[in-house]
Amino acid sequence: MPGTALTRNFREGHKLKMSTPFQVVVCASVVPDPLQTLEPVTGPTGPALKNEMMLPAILDPWAAHALYEGANLVKKVAGSALWLVSMAPKAKLQQVMMTVAQKVPLQLVAVDGPSSGFADAQQTATALATAIRNIPGIDLSKLLLFGGWESASRSAGVTLQLVGEELGIVDQFQGVDAIAPNDDGSFEVLERVEGARHQVSRCAGAPAVLGWATGNLGEPRNDPQVGMANMRAIMPALQRAVAAKITADGLQYANVATPKQQRETRIVKDTPADQIASEIVQWIKQE
């Protein structure tokens, strides 16, 4: 299947007139800023990050792509709506929302719970599914459940799938890079598979789960007006956040550590390029 023609179809798919609105719910947690040094420590409930509450946080990167794609879809399909459902410590969520709120119009549903990579995914999924079911006006038959295909914390790629199962959704896609809705409510999806290829699927319509990879949209510029409009609803949403208790439930960590491997690097300098090239070629050809 020719890649260029298909990609064009996906781009043009967004121009179609839609008669079936979607309800897009994006699940996204917060993670430590990737530039921070992460050091594991043993806390009262198991492994944690040193000074976890002090670490600057961001919206999980792949979930952020899902948010931007969701907002774009909602903008294109009249009558659609977008919610951001996020579980994290309330204070942390508030800090991250100050930035995220300026990106796209959204309605926040906050769940006050751990955002640790060591927390159990199953219980996290149950808490998220409960929060989604309790969204006023939610119609699960119109639901497109978005999120990152993996988080930058647990990095397992299971939470969104489990939320989908909890909600009884039997069409799921992971590693999504594009969605092209059709005017009958169906849509086509590009999913990443091995060898830098994409699998193309057509789904009859919502409900469905889409775990996003990077998609095709850049990060939107901060828009203070969008931010101000969002924050009016975000602060009450944070105050309403339901606390979720996540327990170990049979999960026990024997050891958690940063890799200690340090290589003895041989520095080669003041050496002619010919000689370096020859050494590299010889190394490449070694079995």
Partner 1 sequence: MDNILFLAHTEADGTLNKTALEALSSAVDLKQALGGTLDVALYGAQFQPAANSIAACGATRFLAVCGESFAAARFATDAAASEALVRASGATIVIGAMTSRSARVMAAVAHRVSGCVDTHVTDVTAVSGAPAVTRWFYRQRIEGSLTRTQRPWILLLDPGSRPAWKGEPGSVTPQLIDVPVGDSLLRTSVKGLVTPPADQQTIRPDADLLFVAGAGWTKKQKDGQTHVPEAETIIVDFLRSSKASLGGSKSLVDISGENQSTLHFMTHLNQVGQTGSSPRHPKGLAACCHGEEPHTVGWRFIGERRAINLDPNCGWARGKADVLYVADAFEVMSKVNALLSAK
Residue 118 Cβ vs partner 1, minimum distance, rounded to whole Å? 7
The 132-171 site mask, x for binding partner 1 (CB under 8 A), equals: --------------------xxxxxxxx-xx-xxx---xx
Q: Tell me the β-bridge partners of 172.
A: 209
User: For residues 69 and 64, what is the distance between their CA atoms, to the nearest angstrom?
Assistant: 9
Q: Tell me the β-bridge partners of 153.
A: none
Query: If binding is defined by CB under 8 A, does position 218 make contact with partner 1?
Result: yes
Residues within window 187-206 making contact with partner 1, judged by CB under 8 A = 188, 190-205
Residue 226 Cβ vs partner 1, minimum distance, rounded to whole Å? 21
User: For residues 13 and 20, what is the distance between their CA atoms, to the nearest angstrom?
Assistant: 14
Please identify, among the stretches 69-77, 82-90, 173-181, 235-243, the one whose residues bind partner 1 according to the rule CB under 8 A. 173-181
Residue 112 Cβ vs partner 1, minimum distance, rounded to whole Å? 22
- Cβ-in-10-Å burial (0-12, 13-18, 19+) of 210 comes to buried
Residue 153 Cβ vs partner 1, minimum distance, rounded to whole Å? 6
The 5-44 site mask, x for binding partner 1 (CB under 8 A), equals: -xx-----------------------xx-xx-xx-x----
Q: What are 110's two structure tokens? A: 């906050």
User: For residues 47 and 84, what is the distance between their CA atoms, to the nearest angstrom?
Assistant: 28
Q: Say which amino acid occupies 275.
A: Q
The 54-83 site mask, x for binding partner 1 (CB under 8 A), equals: -------xx---------------------
Residue 26 Cβ vs partner 1, minimum distance, rounded to whole Å? 17
- DSSP-assigned letters across all residues of 106-160: -EEEEEES---TTS-HHHHHHHHHHHHHTSTT--GGGEEEEEESS-SSS--S-HH
Residue 233 Cβ vs partner 1, minimum distance, rounded to whole Å? 29
Out of 1, 221, 224, 225, the residue judged to bind partner 1 by CB under 8 A: 1
